[in-house]
Amino acid sequence: MSKGGIVAALLGIAAIVLVFVVVPGMRDAGYIIRAYVITAVILTVYTWSLAKRLAEAEKIKDDREELAG
């Protein structure tokens, strides 16, 4: 896993933990928790995917530069 993927995972976990800390006692706590967890998971996977694609693109660029010169 790349650095970007690790950062994305940590930010997703932090968002989920924050929701669990803030929401207890609210009227619609269950709904809010589910919504934030689903959103955090989606954003984490998306960010991880982008970071992975960026790392692969940088590797390809470096390989091409080595071949060219």
2, pLDDT greater than 90 = no
pTM: 0.69
The string of pLDDT tens digits covering residues 34-58 is: 888 888 888 888 888 888 898 899 9
CA-based torsion, 40, 41, 43, 49: positive or negative: positive
SS3 label, residue 2: coil
Least Cα distance to 45 among 1, 11, 16, 9 occurs for 9
Per-residue confidence at 1, pLDDT binned at 50, 70, 90? low
Least Cα distance to 4 among 52, 46, 40, 39 occurs for 52
- 21-31 average pLDDT score: 83
Per-residue confidence at 59, pLDDT binned at 50, 70, 90? very high
Domain coordinates of the chain in residue numbers? 3-68
